Amino acid sequence: MQLTSLVRAAVATAILIASHASHGQSALKLPDLGTSALQVLPLEKEQAIGDVMMMQIRSQSPLVQDPVLDEYLTSLGNKLVANANDVRFPFSFFWINNQAINAFAFYGGHVGVHTGLIAQADNESQLASVLGHEIAHVTQRHLARRIQQAKDNNALTLAGMIAGILTTVVAPDAGMAILAANSTQAQLSQLTHSRKAEQEADRFGMQTLYEAGFDPSQASEFLSKLSAQVRYQTKPPTFLLTHPLPDSRVSDVRLRAQQFAPRYVPTSLKFDLAKSRVLARYQYKSEDAQAYFENQLRLKATEMSKQALEYGLALALLDQNKLELAQDLLDKLLKHDENNLFYLDAYTDLLIAQKKPEQATKLLQLKYEFRPNNQVLTLNLANAAIEAKQFDTAEKVLKLFLLDKPQSTLAKDLLSKVYKEQDHKAAYHEMYASLLAQYGAYIKAADEIQRALNHINEQETVKEARLKALLSQYRQMQKELAKL
């Protein structure tokens, strides 16, 4: 599914909000966290900080808004979380469009993964080993411990430290440059995982990896791969800027993996398909991707399955508008696996490109009946229905989906388009305001609610009261941020 880029509203300033409730629930309040004298970080405040940092990331980072990749990453991440110890709250997983090998975790169970990580991983166990490691950083509250330690450094304010962590984990090169120019070594130590924290994350992450059914030996294989890059590059991989990798750590991880019984893990088609999608859409230009997949299919010397290579080639062809060649491949893939979400997503793009949105809508409605509210089917169905001008269908499935996933920016973006096409001006401005709020653009969100109020009639007293409450909420949010 390919959608237009969402609004990228900048968050007004640095970040600390007490509770980031879902839209329309309750106003946000600034937590009384002080500066560097915080003794304990309660879980609810950790979640609140994490949610606002996530809002900041939405507004400033190249997030991958891709339902198929989101579905895969969330499924893999949750499989690991279900087998982890000390899980205190739900986790969320998201992609950053960045070719560097990196992943990071921060307050409240948010785990970000660079597209470059899966592009360089050889198998699903390697990818899972990194996710398990990041999950352990959260469950063992390594970042939360830093806030507790910050009380010993009066020069490092809590707000400044969190902003620095946000900069460093999302763009480590920039973060480290800032620290080198302006900060003390004490501040640098706050922004880099200590060796003790890394050892702890390795230990808990390895156990989670094994319990979830993956091959623990692949954790050391992937670290060895990173270590090799250090030897041959003057600039280390991004992951190593925030995750120290002394030689002893690779050995420790290898020895720890040997404590588990050997395990054969079959090749994961979903991993291969996700990797092909990343290579085709985020790692290479479409022409280069076509050449890569054609070469791999000709050599037949890759660990990736033939289906995944053909799927990647189909995407590369589709993105170049070589529709007949793409259709030949997708028809063959769907014939052997008609319910595969990767293939259905690509086939929807194909039919829309062929000016056949009605056919795509019909196909997806049949699949949707068996898997209602699946995000890949729902968002593709809504997108196809909008293209086919079947706005009632799109509105129905999107409203149902948002009841289950109230923070879905893609669903809100699509539903705002539906309301605009239907000329439901009040509903459009309200939904667009909700979308803006998720990017921290509270002033603009308040402006949209004011426009919504201008398009309701005198009889809609309940709607008027609700919109006025939202208007007050967004204005209060902005005031809380202004206090910082």
Residues taking part in catalysis: 134, 202
Torsion of CA 273, 291, 102, 70, to 10 degrees: -30
d(CA 434, CA 455): 17
142 annotated ligand binder: no
d(CA 188, CA 191): 5
d(CA 465, CA 443): 19
Angle (CA) 80 84 87, round 5°: 115
| Helical (H) or strand (E) element with 474 | helix 461-482
**Type of residue numbered 15:** I
| Helical (H) or strand (E) element with 85 | none
Query: Across-strand partners of 111?
Result: 93, 105
d(CA 358, CA 267): 36
Query: Across-strand partners of 54?
Result: none
End-to-end CA distance of the chain: 39
- As a whole number of Å, the CA-based R_g of the chain is 23
**Type of residue numbered 414:** L
Is the separation of the CB atoms in 226 and 101 below 8 Å? yes
d(CA 209, CA 196): 20
Alpha helices in 258-340 (DSSP H): 269-278, 286-299, 306-319, 323-336
Is the separation of the CB atoms in 278 and 115 below 8 Å? yes
287 annotated ligand binder: no
| Helical (H) or strand (E) element with 105 | strand 103-106
- DSSP codes of every residue in 158-213: HHHHHHHHHHHHHSHHHHHHHHHHH--HHHHHHHS--HHHHHHHHHHHHHHHHHTT
Structure token pair of residue 246: 């002394």
User: In terms of Cα–Cα distance, which of 209, 199, 203, 201 is closest to 80?
Assistant: 209
198 annotated ligand binder: yes
User: In terms of Cα–Cα distance, which of 450, 431, 446, 439 is closest to 12?
Assistant: 439
d(CA 297, CA 230): 31
Is the separation of the CB atoms in 60 and 89 below 8 Å? no
Known binding-site residue numbers:
133, 137, 198
Binding site members for Zn(2+): 133, 137, 198
